[in-house]
């Protein structure tokens, strides 16, 4: 059960997230989890499924990489076509999904496949063991990702399957982990009974209801909740996970220009929102003219400034913000600011891990 793992950042396989995945140094205590949500990372790619994702996984500078074809996706008519097609043809079929994990894992020994119960997706019971049995010959470790709605239903099967080399990921979605409530007290009791393998508490801090146009410019986003970082040990977990300081969106098609930026304050474990002029006069120039100056002059930035290490030269996101401010680089891109947010957040968490911030303190 020995592991140095402390943090699991979750990435979808979209271009800005892939760019961060391939350039960030995760070091020894961060194992990224990639959610494969479509057949290929680029619509015009001529590579096969395995070639596409093998290239991505190989580029990741981490000891281990969790790979998931996420069962939790809710199919809808507004979902991106390629995501919907992949969900219906591959993810919804446990045999097809498991074979894809095997195909990827054969190519790279740092892959840890992630499986989940199908009870909430298809109504099938006892679906973990068939997946587990197919994967065991190919992988030293397997991760089981459990969700709160089906937790009690899945628990007996999970406890029969887990080995010391495996991982148990508890996905809270956007639920605040209030350990004093009766529901969470019962959950903690059940999790504490599982001692065979490492446990990770995963939560999305920024849900899809948080919209750029509704944020108060320069103010804290009270709806954003990153408290799993502070409470994961209460669940008997050794690590925490999240969606890397960005919104866990519903993967819908389309969208309009809406200049906005969510900036993590590592000194408070909180998020601050910055936005453009408003819904009647939105332009990409707002990123350069309004958002960047406000972020640089913000109280959050001042709190993280040297001698603290959060805004050091290693923080690629912060360096990009300053290049935009100096007119050395264009800031007229919503996608770029998504990448900036991720790079800044990752650097802050890595800085805290290096400093032992999340390690157990002896009295």
Q: Which helix (H) or strand (E) holds 103?
A: helix 94-105
Residue 319, classed as helix, strand or coil, is: helix
pLDDT in tens, 194-248: 999 999 999 999 887 777 777 889 899 999 999 999 999 999 999 999 999 998 8
Cα 232 versus chain centre, distance? 16
pLDDT of residue 363: 38
Query: Please, which pLDDT band fits residue 179 given cuts at 50, 70 and 90?
Result: confident
**What is the distance between the terminal CA atoms of the chain, rounded to a whole angstrom?**
24
Higher pLDDT, 256 or 352: 352
User: Do residues 85 and 92 touch, judged by C-beta distance below 8 A?
Assistant: no
Cα atoms found within 13 Å of the Cα of residue 204, Cβ hemisphere only: 15
Those residues whose C-beta lies under 8 Å from the C-beta of residue 119, and which sit 6 or more positions away, are 125, 127, 150, 153, 154
Q: Where are the domains of the chain?
A: 7-255, 256-355
Among 49-63, 70-84, 325-339, which stretch is predicted with the lowest mean pLDDT?
A: 70-84
User: Do residues 335 and 320 touch, judged by C-beta distance below 8 A?
Assistant: no
Give counts: helices (H), strands (E), the chain.
13, 13
Residue 281 has pLDDT above 60, yes or no: no
Query: Which residue, 133, 128, 206, is CA-closest to 168?
Result: 128
pLDDT in tens, 122-154: 888 889 999 999 999 999 999 999 999 999 999
Segment 33-55 shows an average pLDDT of 89
- The dihedral of CA 298, 299, 305, 310: what is its sign? negative
Residue 250, classed as helix, strand or coil, is: coil
- The length of the chain in residues reads 363
Tokens 């003219």 sit on residue:
289
**SS3 sequence, 227-275?**
CHHHHHHHHCCCEEEECCCCCCCCCECCCCCCCEEEEEECCCCEEEEEE
CATH 3.90.1300.10: does it fit domain 7-255? no
Query: Which residue, 241, 169, 239, is CA-closest to 204?
Result: 241
Residue 16 has pLDDT above 50, yes or no: yes
Query: Which residue, 44, 40, 116, 45, is CA-closest to 83?
Result: 40
Query: Which residue, 177, 172, 169, 183, is CA-closest to 67?
Result: 169
pTM, two decimals, is: 0.94
pLDDT in tens, 312-353: 999 999 999 999 999 999 999 989 999 999 999 999 999 999
pLDDT of residue 362: 47
Segment 261-265 shows an average pLDDT of 95
Residue 268 has pLDDT above 60, yes or no: yes
- CB-CB neighbours of 242 under 10 Å: 22
Q: Return the CA Rg of the chain.
A: 20
Query: Which residue, 339, 338, 320, is CA-closest to 19?
Result: 339
Opening angle at CA 177, ends 248 and 67, nearest 5:
45
Residue 293 has pLDDT above 90, yes or no: yes
Segment 11-20 shows an average pLDDT of 91
Q: What percent of the chain has pLDDT over 90?
A: 71
Query: Please, which pLDDT band fits residue 9 given cuts at 50, 70 and 90?
Result: very high
pLDDT of residue 138: 94
């Amino acid at each position: 059960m020995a592991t140095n793992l402390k943090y699991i950042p979750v990435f979808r396989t979209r271009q800005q997230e892939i760019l961060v995945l391939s350039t960030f140094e995760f070091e020894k205590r961060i194992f990224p989890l990639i959610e494969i949500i479509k057949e290929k990372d680029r619509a015009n790619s001529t590579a096969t499924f395995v070639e596409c994702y093998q290239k991505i996984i190989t580029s990741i500078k981490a000891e281990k990489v969790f790979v998931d074809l996420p069962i939790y996706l809710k199919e809808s008519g507004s979902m991106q076509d390629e995501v919907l097609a992949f969900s219906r043809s591959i993810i919804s079929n446990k045999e097809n999904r498991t074979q894809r994990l095997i195909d990827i894992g054969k190519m790279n020994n740092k892959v840890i496949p992630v499986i989940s119960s199908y009870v909430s997706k298809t109504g099938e019971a006892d679906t973990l063991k068939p997946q587990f049995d197919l994967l065991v010959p190919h992988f030293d470790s397997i991760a089981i990702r459990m969700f709160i709605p089906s937790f009690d239903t899945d628990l007996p099967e999970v406890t029969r399957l887990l080995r010391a080399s495996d991982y148990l990921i508890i996905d809270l979605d956007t639920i605040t982990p209030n350990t004093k409530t009766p529901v969470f007290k019962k959950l903690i009791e059940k999790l504490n009974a599982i001692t065979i393998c490492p446990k990770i508490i995963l939560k999305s801090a920024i849900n899809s209801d948080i919209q750029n146009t509704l944020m108060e410019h320069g103010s804290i986003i009270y709806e954003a909740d990153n408290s799993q970082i502070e409470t994961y040990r209460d669940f008997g977990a050794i690590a925490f996970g999240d969606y890397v300081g960005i919104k866990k969106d519903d993967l819908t098609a389309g969208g309009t220009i809406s200049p906005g930026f969510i900036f993590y304050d590592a000194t408070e474990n909180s998020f601050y929102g910055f936005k453009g002029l408003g819904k009647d006069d939105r332009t990409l120039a707002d990123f350069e003219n309004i958002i960047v100056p406000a972020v640089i002059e913000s109280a959050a930035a001042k709190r993280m400034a040297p001698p603290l290490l959060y805004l050091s030269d290693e923080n690629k996101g912060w360096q990009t913000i300053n290049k935009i401010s100096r007119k050395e680089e264009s800031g007229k891109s919503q996608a770029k600011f998504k990448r900036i947010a991720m790079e800044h957040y990752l650097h802050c968490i890595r800085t805290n891990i290096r400093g032992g911030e999340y390690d157990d303190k002896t009295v």
